[in-house]
Amino acid sequence: MRRHISNKEVVLAVTGSIAAYKACEIASRLIELNAKVTPVLTRSACELVQPATFEAITGRRAITNLFGAFASAEIEHIAVATRAHLFLVAPATANILAKAANGIADDWLSTALLATRAPILFAPAMNSNMFAHPATQANIETLLGRGCHFIEPESGRLACGTVGQGRMADPMSIIEAALPLISGDSSLAGKKVLITSGGTREPLDPVRYIGNRSSGKMGRALAIEALARGAQVTVVTGPSDVALPYGAETIRVETAMQMAAETLPRAQDANIVICAAAVADYRPEQTYEHKRKRAGQSLTLALVENPDILAQIGAAKRTGQILVGFAAETEELVANACVKLKKKNLDLIVANQVGVPESGFGVDTLNAAILDRDGQTTELPLIAKDELAQRLFDRMALLMAQ
């Protein structure tokens, strides 16, 4: 994620909602990712949070006033609006949405929103009735129609005590939604990327299943990278606690059969298919309706083979379609992955070492090698899953250019 945000100019505009305090975390995460952040606080926001907090986090003066200090000869709101790669309005009140939709320019932020040609992302936060009000919804429609972007507020208990939709999306989801807008990378614009992620569960009875240790972290890193390059992303995921990025279509399944049913039809028109899921090769022949009781003797389970989703996609691969697999191996890493690459008709496979600390299931890093269809093997040092995702998409770009 860092590469796409590094040194990009982000205007973080904070308006007068209780959620304003969460903007501190957004600022802090953007700085961690090496973005250059200009904080802007409306007059109401200053009643709720201190400009000094944002100045300490971002290392830049917080803009609070259209006619504030003129540090240089430049007209600040025009200059900042012009060099911005993104205007992120978080939280966005009903008031700023109304002003932006109607072209009202009566303070720094509303004026700069008219002046900028950078993408604008609003993260609304307000009382649920205010959000649902036809006036607010009409303003959102107007802004969407003009190409502005929104990250929907969540439902839940609001600061005012009511329960409903209006709570600002969480800071990490906001950053993930901002990433493709900031990156300006449109190398995969118009391309469909389909990803399988997480592990499947094969039920024995209503309480037990055969499963594996996949967390879905690798699938998430791949989805974030594809979105940052402008792709249309669909993730078919097994049960997982890892949040998938905002902007990816997410299809949740439990079993290998369900994953096959959701993945195979979608693979037909995908430009890139990446199978990162740990799919159970076998499922119990019989699933019991009620919890199986112990019977004082050993129990033998009959298992039947699941469909190999990746092999089926490989067998039907279209010219120009890119197909990527993963191989989780405990031994003979490269040799075993090479067999899978050929057998499943893949363009690339990531061989990753499992069964050792810091690599494979559940952690953020992998010991891996990338093998390609031309017989090239690139051994990687211990690498973060998000960096591996970047490298993988770089390799895919080379293959697509061939």
The residues annotated with a catalytic role in the active site are: 160
Smallest separation, CB 322 to ligand PMT (Å): 14
Given the complex with ligand PMT, which of 97 and 309 has the nearer CB atom? 309
Structure tokens at 386: 């998000």
Minimal distance in Å, beta carbon 332 to ligand PMT? 12
Q: Which DSSP letter does residue 21 get?
A: G
The residue within the footprint of ligand PMT, chosen from 310, 323, 370, 371 (CB under 6 A), is 310
- Region binding ligand PMT by CB under 6 A among candidate stretches 9-17, 43-51, 155-163, 360-368: 360-368
Q: For residue 35, which amino acid is it? A: A
| Position among 27, 125, 231, 309 found at the interface with ligand PMT (CB under 6 A) | 309
For ligand PMT, the closer of residues 93 and 367 by Cβ is 367
Strands 365-366 and 303-305, by their bridges, are: unpaired
State which residue, 97 or 253, has the beta carbon closest to ligand PMT.
Answer: 253
Give me the least distance between CB of 331 and ligand PMT, in Å please.
Answer: 12
Regarding 12 and contact with ligand PMT (CB under 6 A), the answer is: no
Beta pairing class for 36-41 and 86-92: unpaired
Q: Which residues inside 163-182 make contact with ligand PMT, applying CB under 6 A?
A: none
Residue 287 or 336 with smaller CB distance to ligand PMT: 336
Q: Is 352 in the site for ligand PMT (CB under 6 A)?
A: yes
- Residue 89 C-beta: closest distance to ligand PMT, Å: 33
- Closest separation in Å from C-beta 293 to ligand PMT: 31
Token output for 287: 């699933």
Q: Which of 58, 232, 306, 353 binds ligand PMT (CB under 6 A)?
A: 306
The number of residues that bind ligand PMT (CB under 6 A) is 28
CA-to-CA dists, residue 159 to 18, 21, 152, 166, angstroms:
7, 12, 17, 10
Interatomic CA distance for residues 46 and 38, integer angstroms: 15
End-to-end Cα spacing for the chain:
26
If the CB atoms of residues 24 and 370 are measured against ligand PMT, the closer one turns out to be 370
Q: How far apart are CA 66 and CA 121, in angstroms?
A: 21
CB of 383 to ligand PMT, least distance (A): 12
Please choose, out of 68-76, 184-192, 295-303, 306-314, the segment that lies near ligand PMT by the rule CB under 6 A. 306-314
Interface with ligand PMT in residues 212-271 (CB under 6 A) = 214-218, 256
Q: Is the distance from CB of 126 to CB of 51 less than 8 angstroms? A: no
Q: What is the DSSP string of 244-260?
A: PPTTSEEEE--SHHHHH
Please tell me whether residue 196 binds ligand PMT under the rule CB under 6 A: yes
Beta carbon of residue 222, minimum distance to ligand PMT (angstroms, whole number):
9
Alpha-carbon gap, residue 322 to 320, rounded angstroms = 6
The contacts found for 389-396 with CB under 8 angstroms, 24 or more apart, are: 389/218, 389/221, 389/222, 389/224, 389/225, 390/3, 390/225, 392/222, 392/225, 392/274, 392/324, 392/348, 392/350, 393/188, 393/225, 393/226, 393/229, 395/348, 395/370, 396/272, 396/322, 396/324, 396/347, 396/348
Chain positions 312 to 351 lying near ligand PMT, rule: CB under 6 A, are 325-328, 340
Q: Which residues contact 32 (CB under 8 A, 6 or more apart)?
A: none
- Among the listed residues 16, 36, 360, 370, the single contact to ligand PMT using CB under 6 A: 360
Cα torsion 94, 98, 104, 110: sign: positive
Q: Which two tokens stand for residue 223?
A: 């989805």
CB 122 within 8 A of CB 92: yes
275 binds ligand PMT (CB under 6 A): yes
The answer to whether 93 contacts ligand PMT (rule: CB under 6 A) is: no
Q: Which residues bind ligand PMT (CB under 6 A)?
A: 196, 198, 214-218, 256, 275-279, 281, 306, 308-310, 325-328, 340, 352, 354, 360-362
